[in-house]
């Protein structure tokens, strides 16, 4: 929204040198927002009221613990003030070691303060133009917030996908391990069956040789018997 870190409550007291928004001297705290609401739309609005609405006072506690505030200055800015603002911006960027590129909260904060100061300067000259700038600033902030939400959502989606892929990878590795184990068992069984088959073939071959030898022996014996029987029959004649 419209409040940067410069306009938020600070319990340690103001540090105007570290802020880019030009503010008036500290004064006792007042409910500025409440007073603006109580005035209503009919009452005449001063430039101070507009600035208070555009840039809420900076609230803090002084050394004695009293609640104080510093309003955005209603004074006009000269050309020299704008040059000093630019120099101060560059100085604070360097002092606070803001990154020149990429996401940098420090750079974002300082440029937001600089934009607030420019809005203050424009509002003093032309309140309507200042209010329009605030509207543009709010729209930009909303757009950035939407992109931030979209970015975080995409990161979460990516992480969920990565976890799902990792989980699926673990399941596939587990399944692959089980298949590999099954393959080893089948190969062992295949080797056993091959050994058994070779053994059976060897036994069958040995049995065949033994049968052939037996048949040959019986054939030779019968041939021998037939020959002797034939000779015996010849002697009877």
pLDDT tens for each residue of 15-41 = 666 789 999 888 888 876 666 666 655
Query: Given a cut of 80, is residue 7 above it in pLDDT?
Result: no
Query: Given a cut of 90, is residue 232 above it in pLDDT?
Result: no
Q: What percent of the chain has pLDDT over 90?
A: 47
According to DSSP, the residues that pair with 159 across neighbouring strands are none
Query: What pLDDT score was predicted for residue 17?
Result: 65
Measure the CA dihedral 179/180/185/186, to 10°. 70
**Are residues 56 and 7 in contact, defined by beta-carbon separation less than 8 angstroms?**
yes
pLDDT band at residue 91, thresholds of 50, 70 and 90?
very high
Region 104-127: mean pLDDT is: 93
Query: What pLDDT score was predicted for residue 171?
Result: 85
**Are residues 73 and 120 in contact, defined by beta-carbon separation less than 8 angstroms?**
yes
Owner of token pair 């020149």: 100
Query: Given a cut of 70, is residue 49 above it in pLDDT?
Result: yes
- Burial code (b: 16+ CB inside 10 Å, e: under 16) for 141-161 equals eeeeeeeeeeeeeeeeeeeee
pLDDT band at residue 164, thresholds of 50, 70 and 90?
confident
Lowest mean pLDDT among 53-62, 193-202, 228-237: 228-237
R_g of the chain computed on alpha carbons: 50
Owner of token pair 């609405």: 53
Distance in angstroms (rounded) separating the CA atoms of residues 89 and 109: 11
Number of helices (H), then strands (E), belonging to the chain: the values are: 5, 3
Query: Given a cut of 90, is residue 121 above it in pLDDT?
Result: yes
How high is the mean pLDDT of the chain? 85
Owner of token pair 């699926």: 168
Nearest of 69, 64, 66, 92 to residue 9 by alpha carbon: 69
Can you give the three-state secondary structure of 197-235, one letter per residue? HHHHHHHHHHHHHHHHHHHHHHHHHHHHHHHHHHHHHHH
Give, as one character, the DSSP assignment of residue 28: E
Query: What pLDDT score was predicted for residue 36?
Result: 62
| Contacts with 105 (C-beta within 8 Å, 6 or more apart), sequence order | none
Give the phi and the psi of residue 70 in degrees, each rounded to 5: -130, 115
Owner of token pair 């609005």: 45
pTM of this structure: 0.58
Query: What pLDDT score was predicted for residue 44?
Result: 67
């Amino acid at each position: 929204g419209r409040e940067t870190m410069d306009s938020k409550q600070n319990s340690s007291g103001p540090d105007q040198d570290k802020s880019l928004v030009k503010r008036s001297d500290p004064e006792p705290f007042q409910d500025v927002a409440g007073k603006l609401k109580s005035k209503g739309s009919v009452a005449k609005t001063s430039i101070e009221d507009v600035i208070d609405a555009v840039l809420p006072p900076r609230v803090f506690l002084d050394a004695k613990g009293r609640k104080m505030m510093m309003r955005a200055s209603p004074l006009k800015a000269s050309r020299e003030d704008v040059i000093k603002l630019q120099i101060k911006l560059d100085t604070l960027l360097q002092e606070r070691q803001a990154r020149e590129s990429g996401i940098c909260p420090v750079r974002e904060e300082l440029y937001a303060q600089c934009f607030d100061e420019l809005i203050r300067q424009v509002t003093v000259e032309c309140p309507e133009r200042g209010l329009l700038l605030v509207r543009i600033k709010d729209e930009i902030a909303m757009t950035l917030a939407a992109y931030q939400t979209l970015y975080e959502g995409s990161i979460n989606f990516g992480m969920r996908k990565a976890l799902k892929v990792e989980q699926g990878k673990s399941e596939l590795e587990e399944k692959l391990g089980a298949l590999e184990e099954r393959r080893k068992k089948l190969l062992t069984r295949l080797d056993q069956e091959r050994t058994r088959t070779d053994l059976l073939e060897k036994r069958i071959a040995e049995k065949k040789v033994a049968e052939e030898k037996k048949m040959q022996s019986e054939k030779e014996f019968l041939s021998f018997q037939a020959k002797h029987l034939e000779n015996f029959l010849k002697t009877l004649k």
